[in-house]
Amino acid sequence: MQTGLRFQAATLKEFVGTLLGYAGSEPEEAQRVADHLVSANLAGHDSHGVGMIPSYIRSLAQGHLQLNQHATVVKDAGAVVTLQGNRAFGQVAAHEAMELGIEKARQYGLAAVALHNSHHIGRIGYWAEQCAAAGFISIHFVNVVGDPMVAPFGGKDSRFGTNPLCVVFPRKHGAPLLLDYATSAIAFGKTRVAWHKGVPVPEGCLIDHQGQPTTDPGVMHVPPLGALLTFAGHKGYALAAMCEILGGALSGGQTTHQASLQESVDAIFNCMTTIILNPELFDAPDMHQQAEAFIDWVKQSPHDPNEPIQVPGEWEAHNRATRLAQGIPLDESSWNAICEAALAAGMPDSELQQFRSRLA
Ligand SMILES: NC(=O)c1ccc[n+]([C@@H]2O[C@H](COP(=O)([O-])OP(=O)(O)OC[C@H]3O[C@@H](n4cnc5c(N)ncnc54)[C@H](O)[C@@H]3O)[C@@H](O)[C@H]2O)c1
């Protein structure tokens, strides 16, 4: 059910930072996670925004998520570096991995940075945007360890995670071109959002526990569980498999199989292998002109005047502008779950009520 609750990004960020402070995060960590989650909402990806908080607080209580930890380098081979995430907040570990990768790409022209054993790293576009802001192209292969929810093409049960792929190309002006999506037909978080709202998901995204097609998002939340399908049939499945291998195996982490299955649904562990390239080092003086000419060209394809043709990343940039101006919408069920998580994290009810009156 959509309730019309709207939250200003800055106040929501303050609320999340305060909540995580009660949970035990140092101020810098609390701010990093808050910025990441609220940025996902601003970008329009509510599945990876503040709605993740209840799951994070449960993962912490179960002893999986480790607070105030950092990524550590396990192998530095020059342009290739491998980091251990130490079950830290992914928002911290991935930030540190990208910082190091960007430094390496500045030094070598290109770099590969692998991160394993990190808690959930959220919206991958955020990490690509960090690379683009430094002037770099980046390509990210990500797997979700031991948390199967997607069926292989032709299969009838879940065997791997929603394995996102992300690619960014910085433009001279405006938001970068940004490809950022799960290789499942929809992100798992989108089934959670639909389930909370009580609405079906589009056809072709889900199968039930017997392998039959369904649009009921409940099959991902109430046992017996079904599975997500990959996008674009066998092509999406092939890409998901490469995200699993490059993200999970090449990073020094784990792929999903019997021995790596997680015991908790709240502990989401990601591995990510990122390739970072300095575009300035290519012999391509027309690179930006060529990119812009292509963008203009595709936008001129005949279309419904009310629905302009977009390029990758434009959807997020548009949402960001709108939501910064008009606030971030949240459904009541997700908001109530976040408030419960705030109390569980140790926020006094009086302070929660103060925030509620400022936020809702
Ligand atoms: N950490 C994890 O384990 C994990 C797992 C899965 C997904 N995710 C994240 O979930 C988020 C949501 O993924 P999703 O699969 O729901 O994404 P999605 O289906 O909303 O697709 C988003 C992509 O499509 C582009 N796009 C949207 N509309 C467009 C249009 N009209 N024209 C051109 N391009 C358009 C966007 O710019 C973006 O690149 C992503 O940020 C992803 O990184 C994270």
Q: Same domain for 61 and 73?
A: no
Residue 1 confidence (pLDDT) above 70: no
Q: What is the mean pLDDT of the chain?
A: 96
Q: Same domain for 9 and 121?
A: no
Number of domains in the chain: 2
Task: Indicate the residue among 261, 280, 299 that finishes a domain.
Answer: 280
pLDDT digits (tens, 9 = 90+) for 103-135: 999 999 999 999 999 999 999 999 999 999 999
Ligand 1 center from residue 281 Cα (angstroms): 29
Q: Is residue 13 part of a domain?
A: yes
CATH no. for residue 344?
Answer: 1.10.1530.10
Q: Same domain for 62 and 73?
A: no
In the DSSP assignment, the letter for residue 209 is T
Residues of the chain above pLDDT 90, percent: 92
Is 149 close to ligand 1, i.e. is its CB under 6 Å away?
Answer: no
The pLDDT, as a whole number, for residue 3 is 54
| Chain mean position to CA 146 | 17
| Interior angle at CA 72, CA 66 and CA 77, nearest 5 | 155
Q: Same domain for 41 and 166?
A: no
Q: Same domain for 135 and 243?
A: yes
- Which helix or strand (DSSP H or E) is residue 353 part of? helix 349-359
Q: What domain range includes position 1?
A: 1-68+330-359
pLDDT digits (tens, 9 = 90+) for 270-287: 999 999 999 999 999 999
Q: Same domain for 147 and 268?
A: yes
CATH no. for residue 77?
Answer: 3.30.1370.60
| Interior angle at CA 11, CA 16 and CA 123, nearest 5 | 50
pTM (2 d.p.): 0.96
Q: Same domain for 138 and 234?
A: yes
**Residue 89 phi, psi (nearest 5):** -50, 125
Ligand 1 center from residue 113 Cα (angstroms): 22
- Residue to mutate (ligand 1; options 52, 181, 310; most atoms within 8 A of CB): 181
In the DSSP assignment, the letter for residue 5 is E
Q: Is residue 43 part of a domain?
A: yes
Q: Is residue 295 part of a domain?
A: no
